[in-house]
Amino acid sequence: MSNTELPSQGLLTDPVRNPSSATEPVRTKRAFLLILLTLLVPGSAQIVAGDRKLGRTALRVTLSAWLLAVLALVLLFINRTLLINIITNPVASLLIILVLTALAVGWLVLFINTLRLIRPVLLPARTRPAVVIALVLAMVASSGSLGYAAYLLNVSRNAIGSIFNAGPAIDPVDGRYNFLMMGGDAGADRTGRRPDSLSVLSVDAETGQTAIISVPRNLQNARFSEGSPMLQVYPDGYNCGDECLINAINTEVTNEHKDLYPGVADPGAQATLEAVSGTLGITVQAYVLVDMDGFAKLIDAMGGIRIKAGGWVPISGDMVDEANGIHGMPLGWIPAGEQKLDGYHALWYGRSREFVDDYARIQRQQCVQQAMLKQLDPATLLAKFEDIANAGTKVVDSNISSSQLGSFVDLAMKAKGKDIKRLTIGPPDFDASFSTVPDFDIIHDRVQKLLASASSESSPAAAPAGTVPDGTAPADTVLQPGSLPGNGLSAAGPLAGLPATTPAPAPSSPSDFTPVTTTPEGEPITEEMLNQFKREGNEQAIRDLVATNGQCAPL
């Protein structure tokens, strides 16, 4: 035998490259080995058993993809913000989508080529189905996963483009980012969106420590911040009478003063932001507006939220006596105790104010916000990403720049697990009448003390959420005329002589309360009992039984 015949002879007897010369058990093992090689090291099956040129090209692509994956992993640990900014950048994300799609198609081609190399006709009939199933599963796990990742990234890209703008980035002020969260009740019969709830989410730019400051929608004489165009119309504050509530600014500016905000996408929202800034004495840099009619879809997309409710909350029927704020028979009730709320019930839990005042509703709205922040963990986000993203595009509008999403997502991750400090410009932190004649010096002082306590992890983070920053009195204490616990200021003037409210006793911490599930006589409160009082016209009995429904804690 000549030397030139030896390689040819070896090639013909090599069971990897020429399975026809191998036994059936070897052919079966070879088939599964080639599938495994294509799954773990795309291109290696072609190197050992097929077109080496194709294999070398595929291996180069595989090694390049591994290097990029390692780089992304390194960035995740050393510069997570940069990684998120790359992924959320519209140009970079489009490039990543194209690369993922190309890799998915290329991997699919390699699996098809691997099937040709396996030559199923040479396999025993009893093993062919197992080999085909293994190959299909490997294709789904590899190529299918890459394709699905590209699809989700495209969903995310579209959602980011729909919700956020491409404007300039914002800088922290005094070390904090302040976002105005507005719940709007826009409808087909309304021009302009009237915020049903207003709260500022203040986040420490370094630690993520968060504080929520709620502004009642009926606050009067709101002050506009320095430089606001609305100072031309209301230089002394929004003081045109009882109708000039802070939640009316959005609609008024949209309908009558849009010309003061040339080039601004939503003049009403911007003017409301300026009013909240001036009222609280801080710089609010951006807003997020959630349409409450679509809010339920976002909660449903998350799989619901879990709360501990302090008292029963009605799902109100139609208004039958608008002058006295009396509704018809409730459509249902949300019981006290631990509850998992779907979107419909979460919306009503945060929106209902029948039988109680606006301040109980504000407390519940804060609780719903906290429950969403607490329960939107990575596992939930990944499992329900598409539904959450699609719901978000329908209910959320914001002037936050998409270029900063990386920074803000990173801050949100830092904030996980930290206590959220809270303040309401009304009960339980101020007298109920305070919002009618607010003292802005007092508001500014209380806000600054709250933010000082939430400025870093080293400040009184050990104190329960909801305490006044200097620790002298709980923030859940209702301010009575003549005294302001924790700041030593006298309430003489705007607060003097105002009637004090008597809400339910404040718990020592936001979650330290016992839900009211029985009457004072010990009889269990039921939906039928509450409805019977309603049918009898005994609304006071209902008010007594549901007086604690402002108490709430996320689970």
Give residues with Cβ within 8 angstroms of 309, minimum separation 6: 334, 335, 336, 337, 338, 339, 349, 515, 549, 551, 552
How far is residue 214's CA from residue 181's CA, in Å, rounded to a whole number? 9
Kindly state the greatest CA–CA separation across the chain: 117
90's CB contacts (< 8 A; 6+ apart) are 157, 160, 161, 166, 402
Helix 145-163 vs helix 90-118: crossing angle, to nearest 10: 170
Q: Of the given ranges (398-412, 472-486, 532-546), which has the lowest mean pLDDT?
A: 472-486
Question: How confident is the model over 373-388, as a mean pLDDT?
Answer: 59
Between 172-176, 407-411, 457-461, the lowest mean confidence (pLDDT) is in 457-461
For the chain, what is the total number of helices (H) and then of strands (E)?
19, 13
Average model confidence (pLDDT) across the chain: 78
- Of 291, 343, 287, 267, which is closest to residue 185 (Cα–Cα)? 291
Per-residue pLDDT reduced to its tens digit, 410-449: 777 776 667 778 888 888 888 888 888 899 999 999 999 9
Q: How confident is the model at residue 393 (pLDDT cuts 50, 70, 90)?
A: low
What local confidence, expressed as pLDDT, does residue 401 receive? Answer: 67
pLDDT at 264: 85
Taking the C-alpha atoms of residue 284 and residue 58, their distance in angstroms, rounded to an integer, is: 52
Mean pLDDT of 378-382: 54
What would the mean pLDDT of 8-14 be, rounded to a whole number? 54
pTM for the complete prediction?
Answer: 0.63
Give the C-alpha separation, 202 to 208, whole Å.
9
Closest CA to 303 of 340, 339, 350: 340
SS3 168: coil
Tokens coding 237: 């504050």
Residue 61's pLDDT band, with cuts at 50, 70 and 90, is very high
Q: What's the distance, Cα to Cα, between the start and end of the chain in Å?
A: 81
Mean pLDDT, residues 227-233 = 92
pLDDT at 85 > cutoff 90: no
Instruction: Select the more confidently predicted residue: 544 or 365.
Output: 544
- Asked if residue 218 has pLDDT above 70, the reply is yes
Per-residue confidence (pLDDT) for residue 482, from 0 to 100: 29
pLDDT given at position 510: 56
Strand 176-184 and strand 286-291: the pairing is: parallel
Beta-sheet strand order (sheet of 305-309) = 337-341, 305-309, 552-554
What confidence score (pLDDT) does residue 103 get? Answer: 95
Q: Rounded to an integer, what distance in angstroms lies between the CA atom of residue 156 and that of residue 152? A: 6
Q: What radius of gyration, in Å, describes the C-alpha atoms of the chain? A: 31
Q: Name the more confident of 401 and 173.
A: 173
Mean local confidence (pLDDT), 471-482: 34
Per the listing, tokens 């989410």 go with 201
On the question of pLDDT at 64 being above 80, the answer is: yes
Highest mean pLDDT: which of 214-218, 406-410, 469-473? 214-218
Dump pLDDT digits (tens) for 105-129: 999 999 999 999 998 888 888 999 9
Confidence bin at 356 (pLDDT 50/70/90): confident
Best CA proximity match to 424, nearest among 251, 256, 197: 197
Q: How far apart are CA 388 and CA 375, in angstroms?
A: 13
Question: Distance between CA 430 and CA 424 in Å, rounded?
Answer: 7
Contact present, 100 and 87 (Cβ < 8 Å): no
Region 220-230 average pLDDT: 92
* pLDDT at residue 399, as a whole number: 67
Tokens of 295: 């809010």
Return d(Cα 42, Cα 167) in angstroms, integer: 42
Give the tokens for residue 55: 């294999």
Q: Which region among 176-185, 299-308, 382-391 has the lowest average model confidence (pLDDT)?
A: 382-391
Q: What is the pLDDT of residue 43?
A: 92
pLDDT of residue 161: 65
SS3 assignment for 201-233: EEEECCCCCEEEEEECCCCECCCCCCCCHHHHC
**Mutual orientation of helices 80-88 and 90-118 as an angle, nearest 10°?**
80
Q: What is the DSSP letter of 547?
A: T
Q: Confidence band (pLDDT; 50, 70, 90) for 166?
A: low
Q: What span, in angstroms and rounded, lies between the C-alpha atoms of 181 and 179?
A: 6
Task: Give the pLDDT confidence score for residue 338 in this predicted structure.
Answer: 93
Distances (CA, A) of 75 to 89, 265, 413, 553: 16, 35, 15, 36
CA–CA distance, 144 with 156 (Å, rounded to integer): 18
Contact 277, 287 (CB under 8 A): no
Instruction: Please choose, from the candidates 29, 32, 57, 31, the residue with its C-alpha nearest in 3D space to the C-alpha of residue 44.
Output: 57
